[in-house]
Amino acid sequence: MNRRTAILVAVVLGVVAVILLRKYVTDLRQSYFKETVEVAVANANLPEGTVLTEDIVSYRSDWPADLLPSGAIGPNSIDMFYGHQLLAPLVQGDLLLAGYLVRPRPVFPLAELLTEGERAITLACDEIAGVAGMIRPNDRIDILGTFEVTAQEMGETPDPGDTAAGMGAGFGQRSFTYTLLQDVKVLAVDDRRADESPSQTKKAEETYNSITVALTPGEARMVVFALEKGRLNYALRPKEDMLIEDAEEDLEVVDVRNLFAHLVRETKTRKERRIVEVRPK
């Protein structure tokens, strides 16, 4: 082999080596640096219910394409999600996913939640009267009233023995509790309404000071009067329980004079219910 041939072979081998090296480097880079895409992320910690706006959205351009979850939102589609609300809280840098965003339901005037013949009335409610803060919009409740009245107010003759029995200083005063209304529809708790989605309401664990219920005009008058004369408590009902007890036959007034008889009857009823009650193990 002469010198020129040797040089030519060396050049060819060098070119081949460069080509192979470049291919190796390209393959190596592709194995470490995969294809990436640009995605929308939260640029701050966002609580549940946050309305999505342009100022709380940032973008990442280095998200691996093969690790992109379903529903990820890119810069070309983010506009259609502005005005939607978050169904779950996000931490800064979290992906914005279509499944975590919901279009707010339209909120209509409260009057549109009422049917013909109904009136909305708001009642004060604390943790004791309101079942420890567990009444929710769309629940059904019974309204109980407790009153202190005198014999004169009841149209009775004062009993001189009432003073000795501790029922009022000579006036026959006594307390009694009565179920005023049954199966009453709760329209709202504070400003959380029955037609709002969870993301549009405040957190469920917050306490409240009032409930708004749907009553007939006559029921509304009675409840307003009862508020002036005594105090109200609310009993939460199962939604499937549509039984209305008869006011004359089943809803006995409970006072100190018949408390023991009432206790005996209700204890018997509870024992009968336990016989058929099925409890989870």
Summarize pLDDT for 141-163 with one digit per residue, the tens: 999 888 887 766 556 665 555 55
In the structure, what pLDDT confidence band is assigned to residue 40 with cuts at 50, 70 and 90? very high
> Are residues 184 and 79 part of one domain?
no
Q: Which of 46-50, 116-120, 171-175, 240-244 is least confident? A: 171-175
Residue 19 to residue 36: CA distance in whole angstroms: 27
Helices (H), the chain: 3-32, 161-165, 217-229, 259-276
Judged against a pLDDT cut of 80, whether residue 63 lies above it is answered with yes
Residue 61 phi/psi, 5° resolution? -100, 5
> Are residues 144 and 96 part of one domain?
no
In a domain, 234, yes or no: yes
Indicate the pairing of strand 119-124 with strand 210-215.
antiparallel
> Are residues 115 and 221 part of one domain?
yes
How much is the pLDDT for 278? 47
How much is the pLDDT for 214? 92
The domain total for the chain is 2
In a domain, 44, yes or no: yes
For the chain, the first-to-last Cα distance in angstroms comes to 94
Q: Which of 25-29, 48-52, 175-179, 252-256 has the highest mean pLDDT?
A: 48-52
Summarize pLDDT for 210-232 with one digit per residue, the tens: 889 999 988 899 889 888 888 89
> Are residues 168 and 81 part of one domain?
no
Judged against a pLDDT cut of 60, whether residue 259 lies above it is answered with no
**CA-to-CA separations, 191 to 76, 235, 265, 274, in angstroms, rounded:** 37, 21, 40, 39
3-state secondary structure of 210: strand
**Longest Cα–Cα distance in the chain:** 143
> Are residues 169 and 143 part of one domain?
yes
Judged against a pLDDT cut of 60, whether residue 234 lies above it is answered with yes
> Are residues 122 and 64 part of one domain?
no
The domain containing residue 175 runs over which residues?
Answer: 110-244
In a domain, 265, yes or no: no
> Are residues 121 and 217 part of one domain?
yes
> Considering the chain, what percentage of its residues have pLDDT values greater than 70?
68
Q: Which of 124-138, 159-173, 263-277 has the highest mean pLDDT?
A: 124-138
Summarize pLDDT for 119-138 with one digit per residue, the tens: 999 998 887 777 777 888 88
Per-residue buried b or exposed e for 124-137, using 16+ beta carbons within 10 Å of the residue's own CB: ebeeebbbebebbb
Q: Stretch 247-255: mean pLDDT, rounded?
A: 56
Residue 165 to residue 163: CA distance in whole angstroms: 5
Domain boundary among 73, 102, 131: 102
Summarize pLDDT for 89-111 with one digit per residue, the tens: 999 989 999 988 888 766 668 88
Residue 222 to residue 180: CA distance in whole angstroms: 8
In a domain, 7, yes or no: no
* Torsion angle defined by CA atoms of residues 179, 181, 187 and 191, in that order, rounded to the nearest 10 degrees: -40
Domain boundary among 53, 77, 102: 102
In the structure, what pLDDT confidence band is assigned to residue 61 with cuts at 50, 70 and 90? confident
> Are residues 230 and 114 part of one domain?
yes
Domain boundary among 102, 131, 148: 102
How much is the pLDDT for 213? 92
Tell the burial category of 147 from Cβ atoms under 10 Å away from its Cβ (0-12, 13-18, 19+): middle
In a domain, 4, yes or no: no
In the structure, what pLDDT confidence band is assigned to residue 64 with cuts at 50, 70 and 90? confident
Q: Which of 66-70, 81-85, 178-182, 196-200 is least confident? A: 196-200
From the list 41, 33, 104, 103, the residue with the least C-alpha distance to 72 is 41
In a domain, 21, yes or no: no
Which has more confidence, 31 or 132?
Answer: 132
> Are residues 150 and 91 part of one domain?
no
Contact between 211 and 189 (Cβ < 8 Å): yes
> Are residues 115 and 239 part of one domain?
yes
> Considering the chain, what percentage of its residues have pLDDT values greater than 90?
9
In a domain, 51, yes or no: yes
Q: What is the CATH number of the domain that holds 97?
A: 3.90.1210.10
> Are residues 175 and 130 part of one domain?
yes
Name, in order, each residue with C-beta under 8 angstroms of 204's C-beta and a sequence gap of 6 or more: 136, 198
How much is the pLDDT for 120? 92
Q: Stretch 114-121: mean pLDDT, rounded?
A: 88
How much is the pLDDT for 258? 58
Q: Which two tokens stand for residue 42?
A: 């939260």
In a domain, 203, yes or no: yes
**CA-to-CA separations, 92 to 56, 75, 113, in angstroms, rounded:** 10, 18, 39
> Are residues 240 and 116 part of one domain?
yes
Which has more confidence, 7 or 61?
Answer: 61
From the list 128, 114, 118, 113, the residue with the least C-alpha distance to 235 is 128
Mark residue 219 as left, alpha or beta (left: phi above 0; alpha: psi -120 to 50; beta: remaining): alpha
